[in-house]
Amino acid sequence: MKWKSLIKVALKSIMKNRMRSFLTMLGIIIGVASVIALISVGKGTQADISGKIQSMGTNLLMVMPGASGFGGVSRGAGSWHTLTLADAEKIEKEATLVTQVSPVVRESAQVIAGRNNWFTSVQGVTANYTIIRSWPVDRGAFFTDRDVKTMAKVAVLGATVADTLFPGQDPIGARIRVGNVPFTVVGVLSKKGQNMMGSDQDDIILAPSTTVLFRLGDGKWINSITVSAVSERETDAARSEVEAIMRRSHRLAGSEDNNFSIRTQTELNEMATSVTRMMTLLLSAVAGVSLLVGGIGIMNIMLVSVTERTREIGIRLAIGAREADVLVQFLIEAAIISLMGGLLGILLGLVTAGVIGRAISASIVVDPLTITISFLFSGIIGIFFGFYPAKKAAALNPIEALHYE
Amino acid sequence: MALIELKNLTKTYRMGDIDVHALRGVDMKVEEREFLAITGASGSGKSTMLNILGCLDLPSGGEYVLGGIQVSGLSKRELADIRNEKIGFVFQGFNLLPRTSALENVELPLLYDRAGRIKNPAGKAVEVLTRVGLGDRLHHEPNKLSGGEQQRVAIARALINEPSILLADEPTGNLDTTTSMEVIEIFRDLNRQGMTIILVTHEPDIAHQARRAIELRDGRIIKDEVL
Ligand SMILES: Nc1ncnc2c1ncn2[C@@H]1O[C@H](COP(=O)(O)OP(=O)(O)OP(=O)(O)O)[C@@H](O)[C@H]1O
Ligand SMILES: [Mg+2]
């Protein structure tokens, strides 16, 4: 068969009815554009979230006060007072699959440095916290185990706090007041950026756990214990081990529920990705429906076109076109319309993804596979929905078609 | 051997409950290089017969042998190929593709010339258009051509595949007398060059330009004369 001529014939008939061809494509354009935009934004967001969770360290375990509720989400986690420094010490002493343990005491306080002041979160941790969170200091030094033991009034500032309290100055060695307690700044943390919930992780002050607990806090209850397992693969084993130690530490009988909960980064990661995956899936279903509607649009217009061109079909059959020739001609026409729609849809989708990405400041992942599949899929839609009208055209009786008014 | 041989050919259309007998047993032979006119009153079966001769339709009974081939037993696909290779058809209503140049209209049958019988397709279209006197109208679209010119484009289209027979159903039905004679002159010319032509008409003047005329009545041949 003469493909070049057939494609030329199809292009000609598409160009003859430019407006109609475009309107026919519109369904496919919108469908493909939404698929491309949604998947690009969805994948981008997923990558962002995974990246942020990775940046917190993948072998992290978090022990939180309060029982874990339905679906692994702790009911009001942190609102119960069940964790103490003794728990953290016990884990450190007894656990074998754990390398680092740091209690975390969280307080909020007004911080004053000279004429500047700032309300921020003050976290009491131990000296190994920079290792656990893989969060090195940028200037100065982190406080030491000795500082923790001696309840030293030293502080390490997050980048945001440093910039706010000491704009253009070196804060190392400076004196600040946290609440009513004077501290000496010993270091500034490197910048970490936003966490996956979008809050600024650098808006923080780190100080020895003991200092925060006894000078700023209630002297007894800590907020959480951050533990790092020996490796990412051992996190589940480490989790069981830590759970057993915690139950012993809290003297829980066999039938009693945990009054604490343990979460791993992997879990958080899965939770986050499953949410975005669900969203992508849901929106893709919507996009799929619009592709279906686009396909039906093609079928509708092709049927009209076949009726309008009955005489032309009659002529072609009379001068020797086989049924297959007519079928192929209309299939090619449907395929070209939908492929053109697919192409325009891909362009529109990428532009839309870019605009959305900028609006919600998320990354965009352009996946060549998605684009290829969308393109091929639009062609398939054209051929699928073009088949019935094309079949109808090919089955026309030449004499009747010639006499069609 | 005759180019065309019809033996007791019948055609019956079913219209709901009643049978319409359009052809009731036609016997006819047509030799190569003949110029035959088929005449008869309206409804006598002329178009029905021509459509069968042109392989656009199949007979209900009897035999149709074209160039030694039994047409009655052919598949739709084989009929299409015969239409493309052996038959040139000219219709009363011209049946040209609108918004398509004379040249492209004439080239149309070549799209289905699978065997590639016609060498130099581009030159061939110009050649046949020149032959019917339209060498200077190659790029005109049908609505910018007169009726006579449109019919000549249709004749050129029928000729491009070098058919062994040219069939025309009332080719002058939509034309005035002068233009009709111009078109008939083209047919006569082609016949003189060796083309077999069968032409349906109900105008005696047109029929008289042929070399043989048969008359149909009620689906039967009632007269067959050499002019
Ligand atoms: N598709 C069809 N279905 C039913 N009857 C038909 C069909 N085509 C033709 N006929 C009938 O067959 C008979 C012959 O028709 P045909 O068209 O061959 O006549 P004709 O000689 O060409 O007439 P005209 O000079 O008016 O064109 C007529 O009675 C017509 O009504
Ligand atoms: Mg007729």
ipTM here: 0.94
- Please tell me the least confidently modeled range out of A34-43, A283-292, B135-144: A283-292
* Tens-digit pLDDT profile for residues A106-132: 999 999 998 888 999 999 999 999 888
Cβ-nearest to A319 among B76, B83, B114: B83
Distance CA A153, CA A130 (A): 18
Band of residue A55 on the pLDDT scale cut at 50, 70, 90: low
- Which of B56, B99, B112 faces A16 most closely, judged by CB atoms? B99
B13, B18, B49, B206: which to mutate for ligand 1, most atoms within 8 A of CB?
Answer: B13
Tell which atom from ligand 1 comes closest to the C-alpha of B44. Answer: 21
Count CB-CB contacts under 10 A for residue B24. Answer: 16
Report whether residue B42 contacts ligand 1, using a CB cutoff of 6 Å: yes
Q: Is residue B1 scored above 60 in pLDDT?
A: yes
Q: Which A residues 12-31 touch B at CB under 8 Å?
A: 16
DSSP state of B53: H
Ligand nearest to the CA of B40: 1
Q: Pick the residue with more confidence: A387 or A235?
A: A387
Cα of B45 vs centre of ligand 1, distance in Å, is: 6
B202 within ligand 1 shell (Cβ under 6 A): yes
Q: Quick one: pLDDT at residue B48?
A: 95
Contact by Cβ (8 Å): A284, A93? no
3 state DSSP class of B6: strand
> What's the number of CA atoms in the CB half-sphere (13 Å) around residue A141?
5
List pLDDT tens digits, range A19-49.
888 888 888 898 889 888 888 888 888 787 7
Q: How many CB pairs under 8 A join A and B?
A: 62
Task: Quote the ligand 1 centre to B63 CA distance (angstroms).
Answer: 20
What average pLDDT does range B67-86 have in this prediction? 92
Secondary structure (H, E, C), chain A: CCHHHHHHHHHHHHHHCHHHHHHHHHHHHHHHHHHHHHHHHHHHHHHHHHHHHHHCCCCEEEEEECCECHHHCECCCCCCCCCEHHHHHHHHHHCCCEEEEEEEEEEEEEEEECCEEEEEEEEEECCCHHHHCCCCEEEECCCCHHHHHCCCCEEEECHHHHHHHCCCCCCCCCEEEECCEEEEEEEEECCCCECCCCCECCCEEEEEHHHHHHHHCCCCECCEEEEEECCCCCHHHHHHHHHHHHHHHCCCCCCCCCCEEEEEHHHHHHHHHHHHHHHHHHHHHHHHHHHHHHHHHHHHHHHHHHHHCHHHHHHHHHCCCCHHHHHHHHHHHHHHHHHHHHHHHHHHHHHHHHHHHHHCCCCCCCCHHHHHHHHHHHHHHHHHHHHHHHHHHHCCCHHHHHCCC
What's the gap in Å between B65 CA and the centre of ligand 1? 23
B155-191: pLDDT as tens digits: 999 999 999 999 999 999 888 999 999 999 999 999 9
* Chain-centre distance for alpha carbon A100: 29
Which own/partner contact pairs does A5-13 have at CB distance under 8 Å and 24+ positions apart? A5/B111, A6/A325, A6/A328, A6/A329, A6/A332, A6/B111, A7/A332, A7/A336, A9/A329, A9/B111, A10/A329, A10/A332, A10/A333, A10/A336, A11/A336, A13/A305, A13/A309, A13/A333
When pLDDT is cut at 50, 70 and 90, the band that residue B93 belongs to is confident
pLDDT tens digit sequence for B18-73: 999 999 999 999 999 999 999 999 999 999 999 999 999 999 999 999 999 999 88
pTM of the model: 0.73
Chain B, nearest residue to A1 by Cα: B114
Least confident range of A119-128, A179-188, A286-295, B135-144 = A286-295
Q: Return the ligand number nearest the Cα of B46.
A: 1
Q: Cα B40 to the chain's mean position, in Å?
A: 17
Contact A320 B85 (CB under 8 A): yes
Exposed e or buried b per residue across A348-359, where buried means at least 16 C-beta atoms within 10 angstroms of its C-beta: bbbebbeebbee
Task: Fill in the amino acid letter for A377.
Answer: F
Q: Which residues sit opposite B165 in a β-bridge?
A: B87, B196
Q: Nearest-CA distance from B88 to chain A in Å?
A: 7
Best residue in A11, A13, A14, A319 for a mutation probing chain B (most B CBs within 10 Å): A319
In this structure, which residue's CA is closest to atom 26 in ligand 1?
Answer: B42
Cα–Cα distance for residue pair A156/A185, rounded to 1 Å:
6
Position A74 scores a pLDDT of 45
Distance from the alpha carbon of residue A312 to the mean position of ligand 1, in angstroms:
22
Ligand 1, atom 3: closest residue by C-alpha: B13
Checking phi first, is residue A251 left (phi over 0); if not, alpha (psi -120 to 50) or beta?
Answer: left
Q: Is the CB of B219 under 6 A from ligand 1?
A: no
What mean pLDDT is predicted for residues B121-141?
A: 91
Distance of CA B96 from the midpoint of ligand 1 (Å) = 23
Residue B194 pLDDT: 92
Which chain B residues are within 8 Å of A324, Cβ to Cβ?
A: 77
pLDDT one-digit tens code per residue, A252-273: 888 888 888 888 877 777 777 7
Q: A29 to chain B nearest CA, in Å?
A: 29
- Please check the confidence at residue A212 and state whether its pLDDT lies above 90: yes
Is residue A197 scored above 80 in pLDDT?
no
Helices B76-86 and A323-359, interaxial angle, to 10°? 100
Distance, in Å, from the CA atom of A346 to the CA atom of A366, rounded to the nearest integer, reads: 11
In which band, very low, low, confident or very high, does the pLDDT at A56 lie, cut at 50, 70 and 90?
A: low
Q: Closest partner residue to B95 among A2, A315, A325, by Cβ? A: A315
Q: What percent of chain A has pLDDT over 70?
A: 95
B46: closest CA of chain A, how far (Å) = 14
Query: Which residues from chain A sit within 8 angstroms of residue B114, using beta carbons?
Result: 1
For chain A, what percent of residues have pLDDT higher than 90? Answer: 43
How many CB atoms are located within 10 Å of the residue A45 CB? 23
Give residue B219's region: left, alpha or beta (phi > 0; psi -120 to 50).
left
Q: What pLDDT shows up at residue A78? A: 42
Is the CB of residue A315 less than 8 Å away from at least one CB of chain B? yes
When CB atoms are compared, the residue of B83, B97, B111 closest to A5 is: B111
Query: Closest-CA residue in chain B for A4?
Result: B111
Cα atoms found within 13 Å of the Cα of residue A65, Cβ hemisphere only: 19
pLDDT score recorded for residue B121: 80
Residue A265: its pLDDT value, please? 75
Dist. CA A99–CA A178, nearest whole Å: 31
Q: Report CA-CA distances (Å) from A403 to A274, A397, B143.
A: 61, 10, 19
pLDDT in tens, B2-19: 899 999 999 999 988 999
Ligand nearest to the CA of B216: 1
CB environment A103-125: b (16+ within 10 A), e (fewer): bbbbbebebbbeeeebebebbbb
For residue B187, give the 3-state DSSP assignment. helix
pLDDT at A150: 93
Instruction: Supply A19's token pair.
Output: 């407006």
Residue in chain B nearest A317 by alpha carbon: B80
Beta pairing, strands B165-169 & B87-90? parallel
Q: Which of B80, B91, B112 is the closest to A402 by Cβ?
A: B91
Identify the structural domains of chain B with CATH numbers, from first to last: 4-226 (3.40.50.300)
* Residues A107 and A217: beta-carbon distance below 8 Å: yes
Residue with tokens 């009379």: A318
Query: Residue A72: what pLDDT?
Result: 44
The shortest C-alpha distance from B79 to chain A (Å) reads: 8
Give the number of the atom of ligand 1 that is nearest the alpha carbon of residue B200.
22
